[in-house]
């Protein structure tokens, strides 16, 4: 299934997240990740949503989102030049023998070790999906106890900003 990254500038009001989640459920759209936080404008939040589906489905997602009164702007980043990042915490099983190797791997991926316990450690890593997935893949053989991911955040490169009017 194709993946599309959609960003939405929304009013920071109670129930907005509920509205958006309800819309995805009701229309049968498939959310792969959703990240939300305050934006550069007071009173507005920015959401980054990764949606699965062909371009016709994603077009519907975009239009249905734009219909919500509290949604100010929706952009589909597909076809644009953009930066995408995800922040991940990974708790890996360790022992005296494996700890060194795990730390080395973490260094290669510019991951930080943020907690060390006798039988596990926590690595934090930031990057695009490919980088995050390959680190997780490499760590899997040591035994991963827990993963927490923020979901993808994305932003177009250069001049264009996601603050303007509705696309439609």
Using CB under 8 A, list all residues that contact other proteins: 14-15, 18-19, 22-23, 26, 56, 59-60, 63-64, 66-70, 72, 168
Comparison of 83 and 167: residue with beta carbon closer to other proteins: 167
Least separation in angstroms between residue 49's CB and other proteins is: 16
Among 136, 146, 148, 144, smallest CA distance to 111 is for: 136
Least separation in angstroms between residue 62's CB and other proteins is: 9
Cβ count near 68 (within 10 Å): 17
Least separation in angstroms between residue 93's CB and other proteins is: 41
**Residue 62 to residue 4: CA distance in whole angstroms:** 11
Comparison of 79 and 158: residue with beta carbon closer to other proteins: 79
Residue whose structure tokens are 């959609």: 6
Least separation in angstroms between residue 67's CB and other proteins is: 5
Least separation in angstroms between residue 78's CB and other proteins is: 16
The overall longest dimension of the chain from CA atoms, in Å, is 59
Comparison of 38 and 55: residue with beta carbon closer to other proteins: 55
Comparison of 26 and 96: residue with beta carbon closer to other proteins: 26
Among 104, 111, 118, 115, smallest CA distance to 88 is for: 111
**Residue 58 to residue 124: CA distance in whole angstroms:** 31
In this structure, the strands spanning 44-52 and 112-117 are unpaired
Comparison of 15 and 143: residue with beta carbon closer to other proteins: 15
């Amino acid at each position: 299934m194709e993946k599309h990254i959609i960003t939405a500038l929304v009013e920071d009001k109670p129930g907005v997240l509920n509205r958006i989640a309800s819309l995805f459920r009701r229309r049968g759209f498939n959310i792969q990740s959703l990240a939300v936080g305050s934006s550069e404008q007071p009173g507005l939040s920015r959401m980054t949503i990764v949606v699965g589906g062909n371009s016709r489905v994603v077009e519907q997602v975009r239009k249905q989102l734009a219909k919500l009164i509290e949604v100010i702007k929706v952009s589909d980043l597909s076809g644009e030049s953009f930066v995408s990042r995800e922040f991940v915490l990974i708790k890996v099983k360790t022992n005296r023998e494996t700890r060194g190797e795990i730390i080395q791997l973490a260094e290669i991926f510019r991951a930080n070790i943020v907690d060390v316990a006798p039988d596990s450690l926590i690595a934090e890593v930031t990057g695009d999906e490919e980088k995050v997935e390959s680190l997780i893949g490499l760590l899997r053989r040591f035994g991963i106890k827990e993963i927490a991911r923020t979901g993808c955040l994305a932003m177009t490169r250069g001049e264009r900003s996601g603050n303007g009017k509705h696309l439609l």
